[in-house]
Structure 1
Amino acid sequence: MSLLHSVAAGAAHADRWCDPSVLVSHLATTSCLCCAAIFSLPSSHEWSSTTVVPPDSTGRCDRQQPKSTVIGLTRRRLSRTFSTLGGSSVFMHGKRSVAGGIPVDGPQESLQTTELQVLASGREDKPGGASPVQIPTSHADLKGEDDITILRDRDAERVLPYSADDSPFPEVRAVVRPKDDASVPVNTVRMWVIGLLFTIIGSGLNQFFSLRQPSVSINSLVAQLLAFPVGRLWARWMPIGILNPDRQFNIKEHALIAIMANVSFGSAAATQVIQAAVKFYGMRSDGGFEVLLCVTTQLFGFGLAGLAARWLITPASMIWPQVLSNAALLATLHSRENLLADGWRITRLRFFLVVFLGGALWYFAPGYLFTGLSTFSFVCWIVPSNVVVNQLFGQVTGLGMSILTFDWAQIVYANGSPLLVPFWAGLNVMGSFAIFYWLICPILYYTNTWYSAYLPLLNSNTFDNTGHAYNTSRIMGPDGSVNQKAYQAYSPMFLPVGYAMTFGVAFANLTGIFVHIILYHGPDLWRQWKGTNERDIHARIMATYRRVPWWWFGVVTVVMFVLSVVTNEVWRTELPIWAVFLAFVLPTIYFIPVGVIKALTNISSNQLNLLSEFIGGYAMRGHPMANMIFKFYGYVAIQQGIEFVADMKLAHYMHISPRTVFAAQGIAALLGAIVQCGVTVFMITTFDEVCTPDADGNFTCPHGRVTYSSSLIWGAIGPGRLFSPGEIYGKLLWFFLVGPVLVIITFCLGRRWTNVNYLSWPVAFGAMSLVPPATGVNFSSWWATNVLFNWFIRRRRPAWWSKYNYVLSAALDCGVAVSTVIIFFCISLPAGPLTWWGNTVYTHTADGQGTPYKRLPDAGYFGPEKGSWS
């Protein structure tokens, strides 16, 4: 059917266009036809004429070359060309009780399925003598997208026991197949070449543009999306042999490429230390120091991730919602099944394409054409000079009570996609922000607590006693220490009330999270340590693969520690050995608690950056360089390690050999760190103006500059002058006690009233880590979206939710990511920003200008008497 014929056929059935699912289906069909035409993918007739060869002695199952070259595009053709693997034909949605945020199985029912034995042949790393696993198969694998199976709401709500042939949890069943194909080639040259190319290009580009302001970042989802056509073209055009094992680019290869991109695309945090050390502290660039610093900070988390696998990966209750978005995209691209869900028959692929294209096109509006749609504080536009209104409703330095934004990037900024967070967790997040920032902060601010009324209400900068940004150069000596006389003559440091509140909330979380994990998750963690916990179908499948011995990760951890000691001793960074040891201990003890919360809710409770600065500032006061390195060793280990664990869970869901994953993650992380270090060193040593305010191309090193300023504040001035008893913010130390007390009270109340167990303080505290610069709109719009999909639609239309929810999240994320790259490279970089009322209206308000509530006193400054601080 030609493209014109497809459109004409749709017009002939105009009476059906009132059905939204039919309308979306026709729009998606046109998009699919265009994409298929571009890539010249094989038709359904080609696949139908292909003979399947049984696995040979190596376990490989190759396909013969197509026997016909039929030209023409049909709906069934697309179902063949966009898929290599099928999926489960039934998804379920279960009712569960909660205990401190952990889903607990409710009534258990069995799912009747056929079973298939996975044989040892073809699995290179399967231990000898391992018994085959019984896993379900699905007739959907034999169907095209026109052969529709009905997904009923009552089936989508069914609850399964751990012994069933599918996951106990509906979130996982929605996107992950409970079956394994051991015959497909995984550890292939095709996978390695594509994965390493994406690693080098993506990590290099992201690091290059991280030196620029404004910057752009290429999301790993973009790599996951682009890898599909690249892999398909490779499989089709390369001759069969060592470079191309067969004509099918399979889902496991695709997942490994996505994993390699995810662990390498993020800018290595140690490069910020390099920028600060060379360009701002004046240290000589030394390649050995810089490479070792990048490698050790990136790979320490890799060791921790593997050591924590039995607690964070194997248990079925460790769902990892962020991984389900990646799994949904993989399943959408590789699966050809179709389910009729609440009257919607459009396939996941077509649904993805429509949302992806629509989201990408729409983002041009809030992302470039009318940025006021992103910071949609229309109340402030009406009364731009009313300070109180702007402080309450503004989205720049205000509390963001205007609630609404039309920018998906704003919605996901603080806590990721709301479609991936359980409703009860979203309620904790929104309730926490409302209490701490919409209720307590205004009370403190308008009563001028901590002299806060002379400053913006919500801002991440530090200020002096005249309301200007704190100028550390006025108090610093030539050796990097504080000049006490200059400090007394200048000003103490002041924090906006919203920023100070974030410190208090972080203090509560840093102590409360341990008590929460012990009370709510302690028994489960103990069973996992002893290996007596129940295993679901995915754990049983993965048990047939040879595991990575724990000591492999132990060796990685020890080697990274030794190299870190050598790095800091040889190059004399003033970070003593005991401090390096402490920097490694902190993430080690926080890793599992932070990982458990992330795995259950997709909310990050990693606030070790504040704790590292706090401890380092007290322990190494007067040594800003050492404080800076101490912070990054502690914080990055968890940040990077959690990403490693998430990708290991994706491999767990995709049933990929753990040893292959170990090699892919380790090599990609090592290569990415070296590439990013090389790009940074090349830029700052080749071009003298880089990292200066007048640098060509705006390569001003914004992240390195912030890191330098932060090291001066915490390493030179130190937290003792801010938070010690008797100082301005000394009472915030009580939050260290508030966290555990609240957790214990909640636990005791939960034993009497079970609904109280929905309250999770690590979620409530941890979600505030990006406030500021995040404001109320990043939470209110996020929560509204969470309620709509994960409460209203999930309760009313569970079949629709099961089929489309995670695909919708992946499509929106991909659309914004691709559109951001296009806007930056094709419009903003060559032409500059678009200047008109819609893009500047918010900058002319009291909110945009950060106008404080109170004016300076007649003395010209606020706070303590001049010279009374020390």
Structure 2
Amino acid sequence: MAVADASSEKGSSPAEAIAQSSISELRSVSEEDDTAEFSDPRLRTYPVLLVAKTVDLRNNPNEPILTFRFWVLSTFWVIVGDAVSTIYYFKPYSSTLSSYIVQLLSWAMGDFMARTLPSKKVVVCNKSFSLNPGPWNAKEHALIIVAYWGSSRTAFGLGPLSALELYFDRKVSPGYGILFLLTSQLMGYGCAGLFRDILVRPPKFYYPGVLPNVALFNAMHSTSLVTHNKYLKFFAYVSCITFCWQWIPGVICPMLSSLALLCYMAQNSWTGFNLGSGYSGFGVLNVSLDWNYAGFFRPLVTPLWSNVSQMAGALIVCWALYPIMFFANVLGSQRFPAMSSGTFDKSGADYNISRVLSGGQTLNKTVMEAYSDLYWSGSYVMYFFWGFACSTAAIAFAILWHGKDALRAAINTFTGVRSDYEDDPYLRLMSSAARVPHWWYVCLLIVCTCLSLVCLYGADLGLPWWGFFVISAMSTIFTFPNGVLFGIANMQVDLSFLSEIVAGALFRGNPSAVLASLTLGLYVVSQVFRFFLAAPHVNRGVKYMKIPEKEMFCAQIYGTLVGPFVNYAVMRLVIDRIGKAVLIGARHSNSWLALKSKNYYSISVLWGVLGPQAILSPHSQYRWIYWSFLLGPAVVVIVYAAHRLRPKWQLETRCNPVVIMQGATWFPVFQTANLFTSFVLSLVFMGYMLRYRPVWFRKYNYLLACGLDTGAQMTQTVIMFTLNLANAVFPRWWGNNVRV
């Protein structure tokens, strides 16, 4: 990578001098010091240890960013990534292109273009640019991943659109369909942009989930050839070994995915099975040798305090509370599977929702009274309890612990005073780059709001204008607490159940309105975090990869604009070519089944037709769940009071009630085989290795995380394209005939 001259030219600004002097200072330090504990000796006092160990202070402000290579490669990978994810959206098994794989392949393609393209100037519309402006650099590479991440998965509106067509026979026109996808994606960016000074710039919000990508970029674009080769070899070895190993638990011996020790010690025991099974039981002492399960909590990335808190919540409920409830038959738990997220009738069979519907969209109360009320497993009832408590607790936590700083930043934002955090060395490097004005995001939000209303009424989606603003307000409110948690703990509160129950209460009898509100409400929050992941996916680009804000904005918006067109086109192709009968399962196919669309249909019927009144009514045995809305903030207030009395206890990290309750909500939605091994790995790497092997941790920990994820993703992709598409299975033997 070319390094700019350290001496500032005559007349350069002080900010530019700072940026240039950082390069000069770095030359006095060993270019790549493998024995150093920190990425740069000047970061020894940086408040976030993990950042200081991973992100260096090198910056060349003269590197080209929005290059011809960027536009070609970002367009290619957005189209390929969205096409793949949309195709698999309608298959019985899902797959996406991992950002690590795209990062690896785009690196090779960009390097090839830099070596082969001519450097001549091309003129288009009186604007000239070079096909090859110089060496392939980390910033343009990072910006490709930003564009990809902005639209790397299917647009959230695709599920409701496909569910309306497949199950309600309502086909939305292409114009309104694409507009629906676009506005739901871009509204999140508009909202996120207004939270930049609150949730992005403060150093304490460092988004730990993006550090592996930063480490991989550093390895790919290291200025030291020796270090470059050594780190990439390590990443390649880990990826290859993981790729080979994952065939064993994935195909040859699935038993290794869930080694239920209690089941083996107490064979043919009903009690032992329910306690030890990692698939349908409580997963007590269940060990997994499958990275897809072992890596569930991102044990090499998520801060130890966050993982320990989440694990504590999960272990308390899965290994103590839920078994007690189940074996004591609380709420009739023994009529249902121990760990199930399904809906059942009074006999314990799956609830036949179609049996109580008239015309597919209207509840027949007489038939329902004669048939059965809805029932859940005890663990699923508690899932809603902890989820509601966690939602309100998150708001209380964000206000009490971070409210003053956020209010100060918000006031500064709207009064034109920018909090530049001058003591942050990363932001000092970028002080000369122009920032994106807030009015850009305000305009984006206003335009998307107007177009969303046009789309809702033009496509007759059933969501009234006031409902749109209510759901959008709820999403905006939860952006702040979720951003805080995402920035410090690498987790966010799952709002799916809350949005579903609110939409069901507001729009009962209107399933299409429930579907629209899910997209334009809750999932706008998810797109907000694509903003916080995309700017960071190189971390908040501005800081960790030193990308100017305006270039970052262009890449994010571009990727998000291209994606919905690909999503809709591929969806249209699949539905028209494969047919409705196959996709809804009326005609059998091993290769096609729109399970995600069916899930949206089930949600719309459960909460939009039956509604929370039929499930959580005053006469329901689950009516006490609503008390959880008060329990969550009450616990947070108690912990905060203790924190004010004893600040040295550091209760924000040592006893964070929101993170603990969030850990309790992971199950039974996910299988408990995820739990124990992930916990042990977190203790080993984010605990022992970080504390006692800091040099090894700095050099290899995040590359190890990248390699494990990349290898597992490659194995999964190859299995899908070979075995799954060919309907091939491994021969039966004792290693793949166990489901515990």
Decide whether the 8 Å contact of 1:574 with 1:625 is kept in 2.
yes
- Aligned match of 1:451 in 319, 332, 347? 332
Query: How far apart are the structure 2 equivalents of 1:643 and 1:456?
Result: 35
Q: Which residue does 2:487 correspond to in 1?
A: 599
1:364 matched to 2:255? The reply is: no
1:317 matched to 2:209? The reply is: no
Q: Which residue does 1:40 correspond to in 2?
A: none
Q: Which residue does 1:723 correspond to in 2?
A: 616
Decide whether the 8 Å contact of 2:39 with 2:56 is kept in 1.
no
**What CA deviation, in whole Å up to 9, does each residue of 1:196-216 have, x standing for no partner?**
100001101111112001232
Q: Which residue does 2:626 correspond to in 1?
A: 733
Q: Which residue does 1:101 correspond to in 2?
A: none
1:478 matched to 2:478? The reply is: no
Gaps of 5+ in 1: 1-83, 88-114, 162-166, 848-870
Q: Which residue does 1:691 correspond to in 2?
A: 583
Q: Which residue does 1:700 correspond to in 2?
A: 593
Query: How far apart are the structure 1 equivalents of 2:58 and 2:572?
Result: 47
Decide whether the 8 Å contact of 1:644 with 1:665 is kept in 2.
yes
1:785 matched to 2:671? The reply is: no
1:828 matched to 2:716? The reply is: no
Is the partner of 1:523 in helix, strand or coil?
Answer: helix
**What CA deviation, in whole Å up to 9, does each residue of 1:601-636 have, x standing for no partner?**
11122x221111111111111111211221222221
Decide whether the 8 Å contact of 1:156 with 1:798 is kept in 2.
no
Decide whether the 8 Å contact of 2:251 with 2:730 is kept in 1.
yes
- Aligned match of 2:643 in 739, 747, 750? 750
Distance 1:660 1:820, change over 3 A: same
Please report how far the alpha carbon of residue 411 of structure 1 lies from its aligned counterpart in structure 2 after TM superposition. 2.1
Tell me the C-alpha RMSD between the 2 structures.
2.7
**What CA deviation, in whole Å up to 9, does each residue of 1:121-148 have, x standing for no partner?**
9xxxx9x89653245337887999xx97
Moved more, 382-391 or 369-378: 382-391
Q: Which residue does 2:160 correspond to in 1?
A: 273
Query: How far apart are the structure 1 equivalents of 2:706 and 2:376?
Result: 38
Q: Which residue does 1:816 correspond to in 2?
A: 712
Q: Which residue does 2:454 correspond to in 1?
A: 566
Decide whether the 8 Å contact of 1:301 with 1:638 is kept in 2.
yes
Structure with the bigger RCO (C-alpha within 8 Å, sep 6+) is 2
Query: How far apart are the structure 1 equivalents of 2:642 and 2:250?
Result: 46
What's the % identity of the aligned pairs? 26
Equivalent residues in 2 for 1:618-767, closer than 5 Å: 618-649=505-536, 650=539, 651-652=541-542, 653-688=544-579, 689-693=581-585, 694-753=587-646, 754-755=648-649, 756-757=651-652, 758-767=654-663
Query: How far apart are the structure 2 equivalents of 1:465 and 1:86?
Result: 71
Is the partner of 1:842 in helix, strand or coil?
Answer: coil
Is the partner of 2:556 in helix, strand or coil?
Answer: helix
Is the partner of 1:733 in helix, strand or coil?
Answer: helix
Moved more, 371-380 or 523-532: 523-532
Q: Which residue does 2:427 correspond to in 1?
A: 539
Query: How far apart are the structure 1 equivalents of 2:712 and 2:592?
Result: 24
Q: Which has the higher helix share?
A: 2
Distance 1:332 1:578, change over 3 A: same
Please report how far the alpha carbon of residue 158 of structure 1 lies from its aligned counterpart in structure 2 after TM superposition. 8.9
- Aligned match of 1:494 in 351, 375, 379? 375
Decide whether the 8 Å contact of 2:474 with 2:521 is kept in 1.
yes
Query: How far apart are the structure 1 equivalents of 2:614 and 2:364?
Result: 14
Q: Which residue does 2:35 correspond to in 1?
A: 151
Distance 1:119 1:193, change over 3 A: farther
Query: How far apart are the structure 1 equivalents of 2:222 and 2:195?
Result: 32
1:557 matched to 2:450? The reply is: no
**What CA deviation, in whole Å up to 9, does each residue of 1:379-417 have, x standing for no partner?**
43565542211111111111111331111111233x3x2
1:463 matched to 2:344? The reply is: yes
Decide whether the 8 Å contact of 2:198 with 2:406 is kept in 1.
yes
Is the partner of 2:22 in helix, strand or coil?
Answer: strand
Query: How far apart are the structure 2 equivalents of 1:527 and 1:231?
Result: 43
Runs of 4+ in 1 over 6 A off after TM superposition: 118-121, 138-144, 154-159
- Aligned match of 2:22 in 109, 112, 136? 136
Decide whether the 8 Å contact of 2:262 with 2:275 is kept in 1.
no
* Partner amino acid, structure 1, of 2:190: G
Decide whether the 8 Å contact of 1:457 with 1:497 is kept in 2.
yes
Distance 1:472 1:540, change over 3 A: same
Distance 1:129 1:171, change over 3 A: closer
Decide whether the 8 Å contact of 1:459 with 1:499 is kept in 2.
yes
Please report how far the alpha carbon of residue 837 of structure 1 lies from its aligned counterpart in structure 2 after TM superposition. 2.8
Distance 1:336 1:373, change over 3 A: farther
Moved more, 525-534 or 389-398: 525-534
Decide whether the 8 Å contact of 2:511 with 2:605 is kept in 1.
yes
Please report how far the alpha carbon of residue 374 of structure 1 lies from its aligned counterpart in structure 2 after TM superposition. 1.2
Query: How far apart are the structure 1 equivalents of 2:34 and 2:215?
Result: 19
Please report how far the alpha carbon of residue 272 of structure 1 lies from its aligned counterpart in structure 2 after TM superposition. 0.9
Is the partner of 1:593 in helix, strand or coil?
Answer: helix
Q: Which residue does 1:77 correspond to in 2?
A: none
Q: Which residue does 2:415 correspond to in 1?
A: none
* Partner amino acid, structure 1, of 2:570: V
Distance 1:386 1:158, change over 3 A: farther
Decide whether the 8 Å contact of 1:170 with 1:802 is kept in 2.
no
Moved more, 438-447 or 530-539: 530-539
Is the partner of 2:367 in helix, strand or coil?
Answer: helix
Moved more, 691-700 or 389-398: 691-700
Decide whether the 8 Å contact of 2:253 with 2:736 is kept in 1.
no
Distance 1:668 1:728, change over 3 A: same
Distance 1:119 1:611, change over 3 A: farther
Query: How far apart are the structure 1 equivalents of 2:38 and 2:598?
Result: 56
- Aligned match of 1:511 in 388, 392, 405? 392
1:328 matched to 2:215? The reply is: yes
Query: How far apart are the structure 2 equivalents of 1:228 and 1:294?
Result: 30
Decide whether the 8 Å contact of 1:271 with 1:294 is kept in 2.
yes
Give TM-score, length-normalised by structure 1.
Answer: 0.78
Equivalent residues in 2 for 1:415-434, closer than 5 Å: 415=297, 417-434=298-315
Give TM-score, length-normalised by structure 2.
Answer: 0.91
* Partner amino acid, structure 2, of 1:212: K
Please report how far the alpha carbon of residue 277 of structure 1 lies from its aligned counterpart in structure 2 after TM superposition. 0.4
Q: Which residue does 1:410 correspond to in 2?
A: 293
Decide whether the 8 Å contact of 2:38 with 2:698 is kept in 1.
no
Moved more, 716-725 or 770-779: 770-779
**What CA deviation, in whole Å up to 9, does each residue of 1:134-171 have, x standing for no partner?**
45337887999xx973525599999745xxxxx54221
Please report how far the alpha carbon of residue 749 of structure 1 lies from its aligned counterpart in structure 2 after TM superposition. 1.7
Is the partner of 1:774 in helix, strand or coil?
Answer: coil
Decide whether the 8 Å contact of 1:185 with 1:245 is kept in 2.
no
Decide whether the 8 Å contact of 2:15 with 2:428 is kept in 1.
no
Q: Which residue does 2:124 correspond to in 1?
A: none
Query: How far apart are the structure 2 equivalents of 1:285 and 1:685?
Result: 14
Gaps of 5+ in 2: 121-128, 413-417
Please report how far the alpha carbon of residue 724 of structure 1 lies from its aligned counterpart in structure 2 after TM superposition. 3.1
1:264 matched to 2:144? The reply is: no
* Partner amino acid, structure 1, of 2:70: M
Distance 1:745 1:533, change over 3 A: farther
Query: How far apart are the structure 2 equivalents of 1:381 and 1:679?
Result: 47
Equivalent residues in 2 for 1:114-129, closer than 5 Å: 116=6
Query: How far apart are the structure 1 equivalents of 2:24 and 2:343?
Result: 59
Query: How far apart are the structure 2 equivalents of 1:595 and 1:812?
Result: 27
* Partner amino acid, structure 1, of 2:243: A
1:299 matched to 2:186? The reply is: yes
Distance 1:376 1:773, change over 3 A: farther
Please report how far the alpha carbon of residue 248 of structure 1 lies from its aligned counterpart in structure 2 after TM superposition. 1.6
- Aligned match of 1:585 in 463, 473, 493? 473
* Partner amino acid, structure 1, of 2:584: T
Decide whether the 8 Å contact of 1:574 with 1:626 is kept in 2.
yes
Equivalent residues in 2 for 1:187-202, closer than 5 Å: 187-202=66-81
Is the partner of 1:347 in helix, strand or coil?
Answer: helix
Distance 1:533 1:769, change over 3 A: farther
Query: How far apart are the structure 1 equivalents of 2:222 and 2:3?
Result: 4
Query: How far apart are the structure 2 equivalents of 1:838 and 1:715?
Result: 45
